[in-house]
Amino acid sequence: MAKKAKVQFECQHCGYTSPKYLGKCPNCGSWNSLVEVTIQDTDDRRVRASLTGEKTRPTKIADVVPKKEPRVKTKLGELNRVLGGGVVPGSLILIGGDPGIGKSTLLLQVSQQLAELGGKVLYVSGEESADQIKMRAERLGSIDTEFYLYAETDMHEISRAIGEIEPDYVIIDSIQTMTQPDITSVAGSVSQVRETTAELLKIAKTNGITIFIVGHVTKEGSIAGPRMLEHMVDTVLYFEGEKHHSFRILRAVKNRFGSTNEIGIFEMHENGLREVVNPSEVFLEERLEGATGSAIVVAMEGSRPILVEIQALVTPTMFGNAKRTTAGLDFNRVSLIMAVLEKRAGLLLQNQDAYLKAAGGVKLNEPAIDLALAVSIASSYKEKGTDPRECFIGEIGLTGEVRRVSNIESRVKEVQKLGFTKVYLPKNNLGSWVPPKGIEVVPVATIGETLKRVFG
């Protein structure tokens, strides 16, 4: 006798379920987001996660022998940095980004490299045919014999293919196109994304297979689907950048096997993505000599110091209220620095429009950029340019003091390596360390003192 199908209503924003229809979701407050979902209550929905068919049993912690498998390093050092040193066997990695940003290109390159290192790779695509993927693979480089393509969206068929091929790596492009046949909702819905990810998680952990998942993003910039999707995976990476610019930034927002502060920088070319080994030179190569409203800062992205140009344009407002616009910088931080400049340094900025950006498309949000922000604003306001060989590091307090920052030694070494001759830094950061030769270190205690030394 066939079992009765279960009907429920599910919110497409947060995954909340209700036995009856509701106009407004009680959990997230979204209107008209509950959709009817029919679930077949059958016994064959159980996923046999182990490819060998063996069932797992509870084990004493003293009897567990962990497998000491080394990380697999790809040929992309920037990707290895973001992952924490390389690919961890048996991990589940989610990569999100805007359409056309290069997610599939990155994973196709990584797949070819993993196959060349001796791994067996299964590339599952629900968006392209096998012919289309091969054409793109030939454009990106060589094709290895241990590289399998599979154009399929049915998770039962994908699980069967994984059991037959027994790959070391699996790429799912994308998770929003995969479906569980037992669930009647459309592909990309909350229930489909949740169930398919759960099955992939069991396969990865039980069989030691590394699985990469491509995820679409919403208009707000977050990965589409339920929020629990990011909690289920081991690593969440965001691929950022402008489609009309060649640079791409890979950022980790969750990583169980490494730091979440690292970023990887790539440049898009006709034959794929190339890693940018020295991003500081890239971000500074188009800086104008003698331009006003410009200051250089050393920002720390994980363990890597990066020199970035901060640009400011301050102009009298044409309306009653002054306008503030930022790109790549935190709006509240900019407003705070402008208030400190007006109160502690005597700059009349309340009737000035201010436009600030971090050049190169990078996003900065650490306290050490405060001093460079203040100098760039003062430079544009006073119409006086800064010396192109000067750099500014320091946090600014509400009383106008310049406070110490972390990793000062590595920051100054990066400045000296790129040919800068002078660096302004907090007075309290001068301690037992010795500055490198060839660069002048100027300790400052307040923002007023800094502006006097820079502009006279």
- Determine contact, residues 442/423, Cβ cutoff 8 Å: yes
Residues making up the annotated binding site are 97-104
Q: 128-131 long-range CB contacts below 8 Å, 24 or more apart? A: 128/104, 128/173
How buried is 209 (Cβ within 10 angstroms: 0-12 exposed, 13-18 middle, 19+ buried)?
buried
Residue holding tokens 């309306």? 319
The two tokens of residue 9 are 């209503």
- Tell me the per-residue pLDDT of 81-121, one tens digit each, with 9 for 90 and over: 999 999 999 999 999 988 888 899 999 999 999 998 889 99
Measured distance CA(331)–CA(192) in Å, rounded? 37
Per-residue confidence (pLDDT) for residue 92, from 0 to 100 = 95
Measured distance CA(381)–CA(435) in Å, rounded? 32
- Determine contact, residues 300/411, Cβ cutoff 8 Å: yes
The fraction of the chain above a pLDDT of 70, given in percent, is 91
DSSP state of 117: T
Rounded average pLDDT over 215-219 = 77
Least confident residue range of 37-41, 55-59, 161-165, 293-297: 37-41
Across 43-47, 53-57, 74-78, the highest mean pLDDT is recorded for 74-78
Residue 214 has pLDDT above 70, yes or no: yes
Q: What's phi and psi for 421, nearest 5 deg?
A: -105, -15
Would you tell me how many other CB atoms lie within 10 Å of the CB of residue 181? Answer: 11
Rounded average pLDDT over 300-314 = 89
The closest of 425, 437, 402, 383 to 297, measured between CA atoms, is 425
Residues making up the annotated binding site for ATP are 97-104
- Determine contact, residues 408/425, Cβ cutoff 8 Å: yes
| Predicted structure pTM score | 0.74
